[in-house]
Amino acid sequence: MSVPLLEIKDLHVQVEGKEILKGISLRVEKGQVHALMGPNGSGKSTLSNTLMGHPKYQVTQGQILYRGENLAGLKTDARARAGIFLAFQYPTSIPGVSVANFLRTAMKARFGEAFQPKEFRKTFKAAMAELGIDEGFATRYVNDGFSGGEKKRHEILQMKLLKPELAILDETDSGLDIDALRTVAEGINHLRGPELGILLITHYQRILNYVQPEAVHVLINGQIIRSGGKDLAHELEAKGYAPYEVLKEPPKEIVSK
Amino acid sequence: MDSVSPPLLVKWEIPSPEIIQAGVILTDLDSALRQFPQMIEEYLFQTGTPEGFPKFVALHQALWKQGLFCYVPDGVRVELPLRASTQIVSGAGAVFPHTLIVVGQGAEVTLIDERYSQGNGSSDAVVSDEMVEIFLKPGANLRYVHPQQWAPSVTELFTQRVLLDRDAQFFNVMVTLGGRLTKGNVETVLSGTGCRSELLGILFGSGSQHFDFHTLQDHQAKATFSDLLYKSALKDTAKAIYTGLIRIRKEAQKSDAYQANRNLLLSQGAQADSIPILEIEADDVRCTHGVAVGPIDPEQEFYLMSRGLPSTEAQRLIVEGFFEQVFKRIPLDSLREQLMAEVTNRLSSVHPSTSSG
């Protein structure tokens, strides 16, 4: 049996002393798209930040294995260079740093010796054209004054250029109108392939009309309470998360009132 | 003073002979005194008494020696930037350079005026007590870029006083990277109706560098405009204190004045204080000021690291971005790149001891 691309085993994560993820297990194989669905506050962004090694998120129990290797000792930048990519839900702006400069630096970090600066301009222009991004984008400052759609397209552009092996897309569909959603979904489909595993984190079923997942998982209150095929997403769309949320333990303070 | 004065070298460069034919003068102050004594007498120490650091100004007035003279006659527009530099060559002691710039009515010029020490590692203790005086005649337009990269053993006392006449325009970029201690005072007197001034500053401090900067935007006439932005990035135990005064006098109705000071602290031991002061005597003006002091935003760093950049590389990019807003206004590509490279170099290097006995 081959080693899975990503294997999460009984993962518990705390943020500022509060446990958010309460024992998650998940396997993503190369070439697969897994959708992770859940309502607000279920722990979706905690999982994506933890996978990327954000210092604020503390793993208290369990393991994350990437290509069989435990990520515990690897810092964010090392994870990225190893091929993990996070498309942010709310990409932060970096005033004064141009998109071109940022991407050139990032590609140099990711590909090391193999990065060819002379090829950059061509590769960069071609990638922008494919995603329908205006060339003027290159000289704008990273995410500074970008519209919601521009931010998401910029994330997909980075994913395209950095060629990850594992991409975590954190609510990349949120806040997009139907045209922008379609462009972003096309971008994702275009990047799908036998070498890339995708964890598509979303609140809504909408994007799954465009990006067909191999598996769907439902995250409620820090636990995956159900996994299934793509039909599960349609069921969630019809019934909502409410039937699952009753499984939540009621917070004790409220009960005592 | 001669026995204790380290040699000071003043250099200048006029990019084309036509500029000289048009009557532009750019030369060292000693030569100018011999060749144009009446002109020097008319302007030297005539911008008025600076309000800041009176003792250093008095000392400079008593002992001034060497410097630069730049004169652009009425109506002459110089397209190419003029360049000059004042260099400390070697030895310990005190220097008192004086820079005098006169831009005539409707004339226009860019002057890049650098300060540096030869053999930057020199540990000779030097005090530089210098003064820059600038006269802008009606409708004159000056872009004055002042990059300072003194050796770490230099103590800098710096005064700049600018007098703007009617409709004159002054654009200033101060880049302060060197020295162990800088006490800087930049006074801009907007004395003619409709004159405008844009004042940009960059400070980068490492080791135990200390900057104490004062600025004055003195609006004395109607419908005058000034906009100031000073940015500092500080690492190790470097410290910056900024005191900025905007004064709008009763006669200066319909004036606009802006002031912003932003500080990026790159280590726990770095420190920045910012003191804005407003003195508004007119009632029909627009005036704002803003201050920010803080470390690198951890979310910015995380974002860049999530793209494979090591922490140091991420910080470098953030600092470059922080300065970009000012650097992009430097009107000479090669100088801008050289200064940015110098900031990057200072950012990554472990600073040598700045104590000089």
Does A80 contact B307 at a Cβ distance shorter than 8 Å?
yes
Over residues A238-252, mean pLDDT: 67
Amino acid letter, residue B213: F
Over residues B321-326, mean pLDDT: 94
Residues of A with CB under 8 A from a CB of B: 52, 54-56, 75-77, 79-81, 85-86, 88, 91-92, 94-97, 101-102, 105-106, 109-110, 141-142, 158, 162
- Residue A249, pLDDT above cutoff 60: no
Q: Which residues of A fall within a CB distance of 8 Å from B306?
A: 52, 76-77, 79-80, 85-86, 88
Q: Does the beta carbon of B318 lie under 8 angstroms from any beta carbon of chain A?
A: yes
pLDDT (tens digit per residue) in B255-287:
999 999 999 999 999 999 999 999 999 999 999
Residue B351's pLDDT band, with cuts at 50, 70 and 90, is low
- Min distance B74 CA to chain A CA atoms (Å): 38
- Residue A257, pLDDT above cutoff 70: no
- Kind of pairing between the strands at B239-248 and B271-280: parallel
Q: State residue A256's pLDDT score.
A: 41
Does B307 contact A96 at a Cβ distance shorter than 8 Å?
no
The mean pLDDT value of chain A amounts to 91
Q: Which residues of A fall within a CB distance of 8 Å from B318?
A: 94, 97
- Kind of pairing between the strands at A166-170 and A18-28: unpaired
Measuring CA to CA, which residue among A33, A36, A40, A39 is closest to residue A48?
A36
Chain centroid offset of residue B43 CA: 21
Per-position b or e across B227-240, b if 16+ CB within 10 A of its CB? bbbbbbbbbbbbbb
Residue A87's pLDDT band, with cuts at 50, 70 and 90, is very high
Measuring CA to CA, which residue among B88, B92, B97 is closest to residue B30?
B97
Residue A244's pLDDT band, with cuts at 50, 70 and 90, is confident
Return the higher-pLDDT residue of A111 and B7.
A111
Delineate the domains of chain A, giving CATH numbers in brackets.
Answer: 30-55+75-91+146-256 (3.40.50.300)
pLDDT (tens digit per residue) in A192-218:
999 999 999 998 888 998 999 999 999
Residue A1's pLDDT band, with cuts at 50, 70 and 90, is low
- Min distance A30 CA to chain B CA atoms (Å): 21
pLDDT (tens digit per residue) in B75-97:
999 999 999 999 998 888 999 99
Bridge partner list, B216 = B187, B245
The pair of three-digit structure tokens given for residue A171, joined into one six-digit string: 């609510």
Over residues B146-159, mean pLDDT: 96
The mean pLDDT value of chain B amounts to 94
**Phi, psi at A27, each rounded to 5°:** -125, 130
Does B307 contact A75 at a Cβ distance shorter than 8 Å?
no
Measuring CA to CA, which residue among B89, B117, B86 is closest to residue B100?
B86
Residues 6+ apart with CB under 8 A from A66: A5, A6, A79, A82, A84, A166
Q: Which residues of B fall within a CB distance of 8 Å from A55?
A: 298, 302
Compute the C-alpha angle B280/B282/B287, nearest 5°.
Answer: 55
Residue B19's pLDDT band, with cuts at 50, 70 and 90, is very high
Q: State residue B11's pLDDT score.
A: 96
Measuring CA to CA, which residue among A138, A132, A137, A134 is closest to residue A120?
A138
How far is it, in rounded angstroms, from Cα B126 to Cα A127?
Answer: 55
Separation in Å, CA A145 to CA A95, A133, A137, A140, A223: 9, 15, 11, 9, 36
Using CB atoms, pick whichever of B309, B311, B322 lies closest to residue A106: B309
Nearest CA in chain A to B327: A96
The pair of three-digit structure tokens given for residue B301, joined into one six-digit string: 């760093």
pLDDT (tens digit per residue) in B195-253:
999 999 999 999 999 999 999 999 999 999 999 999 999 999 999 999 999 999 999 99
Residue A250's pLDDT band, with cuts at 50, 70 and 90, is very low
Residue A173's pLDDT band, with cuts at 50, 70 and 90, is confident
Q: State residue A241's pLDDT score.
A: 83
Q: State residue B352's pLDDT score.
A: 52
Q: Does the beta carbon of B352 lie under 8 angstroms from any beta carbon of chain A?
A: no
Chain centroid offset of residue B140 CA: 19
Compute the C-alpha angle B117/B118/B124, nearest 5°.
Answer: 65
Q: State residue B122's pLDDT score.
A: 67
CA dihedral B146→B147→B153→B157, nearest 10 degrees, is: 20
Query: Which of B229, B262, B301, B307 is most worth mutating to test chain A (most A CB atoms within 10 A of its CB)?
Result: B307
Return the higher-pLDDT residue of A253 and B9.
B9
Percent of chain B scoring above 90 in pLDDT: 90
Does B302 contact A106 at a Cβ distance shorter than 8 Å?
no
B101 SS3 class: strand
Compute the C-alpha angle B115/B121/B127, nearest 5°.
Answer: 50
Q: Which residues of A fall within a CB distance of 8 Å from B324?
A: 95-97
Q: State residue B121's pLDDT score.
A: 61
Taking a C-beta distance cutoff of 8 angstroms, is the pair B125, B357 a contact?
yes
Q: Which residues of A fall within a CB distance of 8 Å from B321?
A: 94-97, 141-142
- Kind of pairing between the strands at A94-98 and A141-142: antiparallel
Q: State residue B50's pLDDT score.
A: 95
Q: Which residues of B fall within a CB distance of 8 Å from A75?
A: 305, 311
Over residues B129-148, mean pLDDT: 98
Over residues B310-333, mean pLDDT: 93
Measuring CA to CA, which residue among B65, B97, B68 is closest to residue B82?
B68
Q: State residue A197's pLDDT score.
A: 96
Separation in Å, CA A125 to CA A111, A129, A138, B267, B353: 18, 6, 9, 38, 46
Q: State residue A175's pLDDT score.
A: 81
How far is it, in rounded angstroms, from Cα B201 to Cα A241?
Answer: 55
pLDDT (tens digit per residue) in A16-40:
999 999 999 999 999 999 999 998 8
Does B325 contact A92 at a Cβ distance shorter than 8 Å?
no
Q: Which residues of B fall within a CB distance of 8 Å from A110?
A: 307-308
Residues 6+ apart with CB under 8 A from A19: A12, A13, A60, A222
Amino acid letter, residue A241: Y
How far is it, in rounded angstroms, from Cα A107 to Cα A112?
Answer: 8
- Residue B357, pLDDT above cutoff 80: no
Q: State residue A248's pLDDT score.
A: 53
How far is it, in rounded angstroms, from Cα A171 to Cα B197?
Answer: 47
Q: Is the dihedral of CA A39, A43, A49, A52 positive or negative?
A: negative
The pair of three-digit structure tokens given for residue A220, joined into one six-digit string: 């409620």
Q: CA neighbours within 13 Å on the CB side: how many for B311?
A: 8
Q: State residue B331's pLDDT score.
A: 87
How far is it, in rounded angstroms, from Cα B15 to Cα B82?
Answer: 7
Amino acid letter, residue A67: R
